[in-house]
Structure 1
Amino acid sequence: MPNKKVTKIDPRKELSPYLNHQNNQNRNRKKHSKVSASLSGLHIERRNALIKRLGSILAVSGIAIIGLGYYVSPLANVDSVQIKGAPDLIPKQVVANSGIKASDKVFDYVFHQHHLSKRLANKYPEIKNVQVKVVHLNNLILNIQERPTVGYIKDGDRYRKILANGKIGSRSLPWSKVDQQKPLFIGYNKQVSLTDDLKLFNSFPADFREEVKLLSGSPTRKMQIILVVKDGNVVIGNINTLKDKIKYYNAIKAKAGKHSLIDLEVGAFSRPLTSKEKKAYGIS
């Protein structure tokens, strides 16, 4: 029998097209799976973002509806007004002059408290600023900031505050409500005279201002001013020159002693006060 020629076949070569096709299919599946996973994740993110936006819109809308409902309801009407920070003013009068009514909405005064502050400051020189606070839904608290008190001016048998801006307080106070640490201005019948002397007083060093007990607006000469000091001395000066001369007070006082009249009007000298002068100036 004749020999037949045997042809060798490489299985891998014969299978390679098939294997390559399978590999391509697997790679395509993986790519498709990755793309599908990416699209799915993006869809979830968008859905979550949409839910959050809707939640925010619903929350804001809910708050707005509740706020609007509160505003138009009687709960938003002013139920009471409390005054704080102005012990010498009469609360009922302050409320009446504020223009606040029971039918008003509390938050109208919170949002427009500048107008309320201006209205009360025009009525009361003592008031510098007013801040409005709401408590328990519909109760107003007016926190009043008063202007500093420089001293007091005698008003008959009562006294009025002299404020830092030079204006006079609206209320006459009994002696029991006068701050004894502040100086008393007496004998001032004209606002111009008080303004000049107040300007001079404010120009003094702070430590000397704290020692002044009384200023007299009824001196014997027009440009003269008289100061009664808490240490028992009396200072006489000229309103145009005393600002510069007051720095010599402590040195002169050390030599003059207690209950002396220190004259800085023309030059500088001192002498003991007479019994009549002590009585006139309320020095004991």
Structure 2
Amino acid sequence: MTKKRVTKIDPKEKLSPYLSHQSSKKKKNFRTNTKISASLSKLHNERKSALLKRLGLIIGVSVIVLLGLGYYISPLANVQSIQISGENDLPVKEVVRATDIKASDKVVDYLLNKNGVSRKLSVKYSEIKNIKVQVKDFNHLIIEIDEYPTKGYIKTSKGYRKILTQGKLGSQFIPWSKVYPDKPVFVGYNHEVSLKKILHLFNSLPPDFQDQIKLLSGNTRRKSQVIFLMKNGNVVIGNISTLKSKIKYYNKIKTKVGKNTLIDLEVGAFSRPLTPNEKRAYGLI
């Protein structure tokens, strides 16, 4: 009887791939679990940080709202005084009354509604172009007035009024002492229609010629006639319809004549000395 051959098998050798696989799987699972744990921890920290930021923002906004509400209902928010600033000839006390701002009113209301204040003042005073409202020391209002530039002045029976760049007249009657000498004075143009015509002509003339005009007289023999008293003492006569095209001759004639000369551009283009009566009439003597 033949003996069966017995093969010796090492259990470790047979189990080695399995054990190795199990070990590798455990390591892999450990690394995966570690990564998941780290990710969860990071996500938790991010959520916590975002929550704290939102909470801080809510608290911050709430504090600001409470402080603002506390200021608004406190006497500190009531208008304490009004200051008018800006280059203007308007009566300060009347301007303050025209704003209709009372001591019991809230400063914030006028900061948010400065257009309403501007409209009120612009309706009463044609000089006002726009305003700026500022606050000083919590409850002191400063109203800075921006006026339309002055084109000239018109003489009336009550005094002088500004002629503004938009064609309107100033609301105030001012004395001669407040008339700027570099601006022309319009005399004899009490009617709105005649003033508009002469203003249209004046604005169409070259700027260097405008700067030389001291006075525009509407006291003429004919409605179509215009008379300019120049700052150098000369007098220019012209026709409203043709003066713009003839004004180019003025500088040529001016260099050839002396002071107190009449330069007539109405029909042709000639000059002569002013008579004593004309000098008195134009206030040159």
In which range does the TM-score fall when normalised by the shorter chain?
A: over 0.9
Deviation at 1:14, TM superposition (A): 3.9
Matched-pair contact (CA < 8 Å) for 2:85–2:143: yes
Q: Per-residue CA shift, 1:153-201, capped at 9, x if unaligned?
A: 1233732211112222122222221111001111222122112111111
Q: Secondary structure at the match of 1:256?
A: coil
The number of equivalent residue pairs is 282
Question: Which shifted more, 5-14 or 32-41?
Answer: 5-14
Q: Per-residue CA shift, 1:93-145, capped at 9, x if unaligned?
A: 10001111111111211111111111101101111111111121111111111
1:9-158 alignment, distance < 5 Å: 9=10, 11-156=12-157, 158=159
Structure 2 match to 1:222: 223
Deviation at 1:13, TM superposition (A): 4.1
Give the distance between the partners of 1:18 and 1:189, measured in 2 at CA. Answer: 117
Question: Which shifted more, 71-80 or 207-216?
Answer: 71-80
Deviation at 1:19, TM superposition (A): 2.9
* Structure 1 gap segments, 5+ residues each: none
Matched-pair contact (CA < 8 Å) for 2:182–2:211: yes
Give the distance between the partners of 1:242 and 1:260, measured in 2 at CA. Answer: 18
Give the distance between the partners of 1:35 and 1:258, measured in 2 at CA. Answer: 102
Q: Secondary structure at the match of 2:101?
A: coil
Give the distance between the partners of 2:191 and 2:23, measured in 1 at CA. Answer: 113
Question: Which shifted more, 200-209 or 267-276?
Answer: 267-276
For normalisation by structure 1, the TM-score amounts to: 0.93
Deviation at 1:83, TM superposition (A): 0.4
Give the distance between the partners of 1:269 and 1:157, measured in 2 at CA. Answer: 38
The one-letter amino acid of 2:157's match is: G
Q: Tell me whether 1:177 sits opposite 2:178 in the alignment.
A: yes
Give the distance between the partners of 2:129 and 2:248, measured in 1 at CA. Answer: 33
Give the distance between the partners of 1:157 and 1:117, measured in 2 at CA. Answer: 28
Give the distance between the partners of 1:86 and 1:105, measured in 2 at CA. Answer: 27
Give the distance between the partners of 2:130 and 2:225, measured in 1 at CA. Answer: 37
Q: Tell me whether 1:236 sits opposite 2:244 in the alignment.
A: no
Deviation at 1:12, TM superposition (A): 4.4
Give the distance between the partners of 2:69 and 2:87, measured in 1 at CA. Answer: 34
Q: Secondary structure at the match of 1:195?
A: helix
Give the distance between the partners of 1:276 and 1:82, measured in 2 at CA. Answer: 51
Q: Secondary structure at the match of 2:144?
A: strand
1:181-220 alignment, distance < 5 Å: 181-220=182-221
Q: Tell me whether 1:163 sits opposite 2:167 in the alignment.
A: no
The one-letter amino acid of 1:136's match is: D
Structure 2 match to 1:7: 8
The one-letter amino acid of 2:169's match is: I
Question: Which shifted more, 233-242 or 156-165?
Answer: 156-165
Q: Secondary structure at the match of 1:100?
A: coil
Deviation at 1:208, TM superposition (A): 0.8
Give the distance between the partners of 1:131 and 1:244, measured in 2 at CA. Answer: 43
Give the distance between the partners of 1:180 and 1:115, measured in 2 at CA. Answer: 35
Q: Secondary structure at the match of 1:69?
A: helix
Matched-pair contact (CA < 8 Å) for 2:158–2:173: no
Structure 2 match to 1:274: 275
Q: Secondary structure at the match of 1:87?
A: coil
Matched-pair contact (CA < 8 Å) for 2:156–2:190: no
Q: Per-residue CA shift, 1:68-110, capped at 9, x if unaligned?
A: 2211221111111110114311111100011111111112111
Deviation at 1:8, TM superposition (A): 6.3
